[in-house]
Amino acid sequence: MASLAQLKYAMWLSIFLSAFIFGLLVFVIVFFLQLNVFVGLAVALGGSALFILFQYTVGPSIVAATTHLHYLKPGENPWLEKTVKEIADKSGLPMPRLATVPNNTPNAFTFGRSTKSATLAVHEGLLRQLKEDEIKGVIAHELGHVKHKDYIVMTVLSALPLIAYFIAQATLYAGAFSGGGGGRNNKNNSGAALIAIGVIAFIIYILTFLIVMRLSRLREHYADAYSAYVTGNPRELESALAKITYGLSISPKAPEGARAFYIEDPATAKQEIQQIMKNKDEYDLDHDGVLDERELELAMEKESKSTWKQINSLFATHPPTFKRILMLKEIEQEMDSGKYSSDKMYSHV
């Protein structure tokens, strides 16, 4: 039975494992380049700390600029302001800054440096394509991320795979350029050392990336469960997730950056729906040419069980939509039975 304490434990464990694995990369660099241990550690750890601080400080501004946010003025969208205020008050959270994104796809995300400085951004497509109760479910999901402070952890934690990737790219290029091949002269020896560092850095990039992605998927389940509890209506979030996944899948635009912060990853949505549409005849049980809600659920369930899908999901920022909907249905059944309580809101994660 999951709990909020387990999410916090998963966050700290992810940070520890990523930092430990990244520390091995620092040791490898110091060893292969025969640097002074203290100087090497100081440069590597100091540089990493500065990069993480830079990402934490500048990241929100970059997100705001790249998504073309429009911050709402008081009274500009009374319904959205009122709805967010009600859910924030119920969650014991300060009112976040509200913004809209001039994008026709149905999506939403939160970001910021702290709970008090959080921004909740919704795509214009979400406000147009979803019903009000469905939008409430999405808003409660996003405020769940704020409540859990996981977007702050993700901002910091995601810096480590990036650093490892940059090191891998730089050292592999430098090693190849210097003609690394293991000859006797110093130039070839240094080139071989750089290539070795690059290969190890790339392996460490994959390992830390997998750790970050696992935490990213886990926090989505927790935010879904939180939304179900706050709204008392998991069915609306189920419907919203189905509409969002389908809406994102038919978007002609390529997936944007910072995909982990969205309620649904555009790339994952495209993969889910496109694969189902390839096998549409198999899933269209009544042969009417259209996949209804039940047929789509069965299709998503079957697709999620494929070996390739399970392997591919290890690299995904979000869990398969079917698994999210299945968890919400379990919560819905528990609520209907009258046995649901706030202290067990994460029991189905």
Q: Residue 120 pairs with which residues in a beta bridge? A: 98, 110
**209-241 pLDDT, tens digit each:** 999 999 999 999 999 999 999 999 999 999 899
Do the bridges between strand 119-123 and strand 108-111 make them parallel or antiparallel, or are there none, so unpaired? antiparallel
Q: Where are the domains of the chain?
A: 4-65+155-212
Q: What is the DSSP letter of 164?
A: H
Cβ(75)–Cβ(232) below 8 Å:
no
**Among this protein's residues, is 238 annotated catalytic?**
no
The pLDDT-based confidence of 306 (bands split at 50, 70, 90) is low
The pLDDT-based confidence of 144 (bands split at 50, 70, 90) is very high
Cβ(340)–Cβ(334) below 8 Å:
yes
Q: What is the DSSP letter of 315?
A: T
Angstrom distance (rounded) from CA 8 to CA 11: 5
**241-289 pLDDT, tens digit each:** 988 988 888 776 655 556 778 888 887 787 777 777 767 777 777 777 6
Angstrom distance (rounded) from CA 324 to CA 265: 13
pLDDT at 187: 54
Which residues, 6 or more positions from 337, have their beta carbon under 8 angstroms from its beta carbon?
none
Spatial CA neighbour of 91 closest among 115, 59, 70, 58: 115
Give DSSP secondary structure letters for 26-39: HHHHHHHTT--HHH
Three-class DSSP category at 120? strand
pTM for the model stands at: 0.85
From 81, 86, 132, 142, active-site residue: 142
Do the bridges between strand 108-111 and strand 97-101 make them parallel or antiparallel, or are there none, so unpaired? unpaired
The pLDDT-based confidence of 47 (bands split at 50, 70, 90) is confident
Three-class DSSP category at 106? coil
Angstrom distance (rounded) from CA 211 to CA 200: 17
User: Is the pLDDT confidence value at 184 over 60?
Assistant: no
Which residues, 6 or more positions from 139, have their beta carbon under 8 angstroms from its beta carbon?
83, 84, 87, 108, 120, 122
pLDDT at 308: 64
